[in-house]
Amino acid sequence: MQNKILATILILFTIVFSFGCGEKEKPEISNTEEGLVINNPWFRPGSLNRNSALYFEVYNNTDKEDTLFAAESDLAKVVQVHETYNKGNDMKGMRHVDFVVIPAHSKLVFKPGGYHIMLVGLNKDLRPGDTGEVTILFKLNGKIQIRAEVKGK
Amino acid sequence: MKKIFYVILFIAGLAGCIENLPLDEEIDNYKLINQDSTTVVFPEDFKSKILVVGFIFTNCPDICPLTTNNMHLIQEELKKENINQNVQFLSISFDPEIDKPSVLKKFAEVRDLDLSNWQLCTGSPSTIEKLLDEFNVLAVQADTIYLPNNKVQYYYVHTDRISLLDQKGNLRKNYPGSKIDIKEITTDIKELINAK
């Protein structure tokens, strides 16, 4: 009897801690527009010749997966798709990625600490309240132009 | 029955592990230079204040701005609680070759940081190396980008860190800079104020 109670407590303990550990985002569609939709874009501030990043949500409301493989903008000398990654327990790094797949009927968030469009070598200051444009390129849906505001610190 | 008692004790023990301020480590002094090109001795010049120290490099577009934004949020929270005057914020760059005082000044300016109790510091490469070592912060050059003007830009793989120092300049706690719990560090700062 005691062993059963002990086992039950340990199982419950494990379940509770397991739920607390993950931050996996379920694919979800909350945008009802048809096709490939970009929502809530914003830039980080950055100064001339330095760097910034563009973040947004991609809703793929189609039956086919699509691939984001490049980005273009007059705002910076180089524009690339990047991701931030974890290294070890408490280290972070950032690297260029060739493409990002957005599965059919799903949402993917480009957000701080994850995927972002990296603007390297800004051609002007980007201050909070400023706006700018970036074109992102998808394999199936072609070019999509994003207009976004600079926010945050 | 004894086993159940030990399991409960184990769970209670885990909860008890979360000490508010687990460290109390004396920090050596380091000669740094701030965004106004003024020499400061860290942490000596800031003793009597609680120090919130973030480790950044200004070419970082993602993690370090998160750390900087979190320091801004801590500052705003302390203003609301009317205890901001007890605290000094410091952003220390681990990229001294690039992050000269003028670069740090522009970094603060475009972000409209409130520098009334916030300084951004750099130093000689050897000083920064020793300082990082003492804080157990790692920063290793990694990916490189070649710009059209043939200039090279490199990125760091680095420790994601905000540190809290008490009024004696002792290191009291480390937090993940990009994911810090604002309420947690505010509570810790209040504890240091009350303990004085």
Q: Which region among A5-9, B111-115, B117-121 has the lowest average model confidence (pLDDT)?
A: A5-9
What confidence score (pLDDT) does residue B91 get?
Answer: 98
What confidence score (pLDDT) does residue A3 get?
Answer: 62
Q: What integer is the mean pLDDT of B36-60?
A: 97
Give the pLDDT confidence of A92-135 residue by residue, as tens digits: 999 999 999 999 999 999 999 999 999 999 999 999 999 999 99
Chain A contacts to B (CB-CB under 8 A): 2-3, 5-6, 9-10, 13, 44-47, 50-53, 77-78, 80, 82, 84, 87, 90-96, 112-113, 116, 118-121, 125-128, 152-153
What confidence score (pLDDT) does residue B13 get?
Answer: 44
Domain boundaries, chain B: 22-195
Q: Collect all residues of chain A within an 8 Å Cβ-Cβ radius of residue B58.
A: 50
Residue B86 scores a pLDDT above 50: yes
HEC secondary structure over A111-129: CCCCEEEEEEEECCCECCC
User: What band does A22 get if pLDDT is binned at 50, 70 and 90?
Assistant: very low
Instruction: Give the separation between CA B180 and CA B171, rounded to whole angstroms.
Output: 17
State CA A59 to chain mean position distance: 12
Q: Collect all residues of chain A within an 8 Å Cβ-Cβ radius of residue B11.
A: 13
Are the C-beta atoms of residues A71 and A56 closer than 8 Å to each other? no
User: Who has greater pLDDT, A15 or B41?
Assistant: B41
Work out whether strand A35-43 and strand A142-150 pair parallel, antiparallel, or are unpaired. parallel
Please count the other Cβ atoms lying within 10 Å of the Cβ belonging to residue B144: 9
What confidence score (pLDDT) does residue A2 get?
Answer: 61
Average pLDDT value for chain B? 91
Domains of chain A and CATH, by start: 35-150 (2.60.40.1890)
Q: What integer is the mean pLDDT of B48-73?
A: 95
- Residues B22-195: name the CATH superfamily: Glutaredoxin (3.40.30.10)
User: Who has greater pLDDT, B14 or A95?
Assistant: A95
Question: Which ipTM was obtained for this model?
Answer: 0.82
Instruction: Give the separation between CA A4 and CA A55, rounded to whole angstroms.
Output: 50
User: Which of A47, A55, A72, A111 has the most B C-beta neighbours within 10 Å, making it the best mutation to test the interface with B?
Assistant: A47
Residue of A81, A79, A75 lying closest to A108 (CA atoms): A81
Q: What is the pTM of this model?
A: 0.83
What confidence score (pLDDT) does residue A88 get?
Answer: 86
Are the C-beta atoms of residues A134 and A146 closer than 8 Å to each other? yes
Instruction: Give the separation between CA B31 and CA B39, rounded to whole angstroms.
Output: 7
Residue A29 scores a pLDDT above 60: no
What confidence score (pLDDT) does residue A25 get?
Answer: 43
Instruction: Give the separation between CA A108 and CA A118, rounded to whole angstroms.
Output: 17
Report in angstroms the alpha-carbon separations of A129 from A48, B66, B175: 16, 18, 30
User: What band does B1 get if pLDDT is binned at 50, 70 and 90?
Assistant: low
What confidence score (pLDDT) does residue A11 get?
Answer: 52
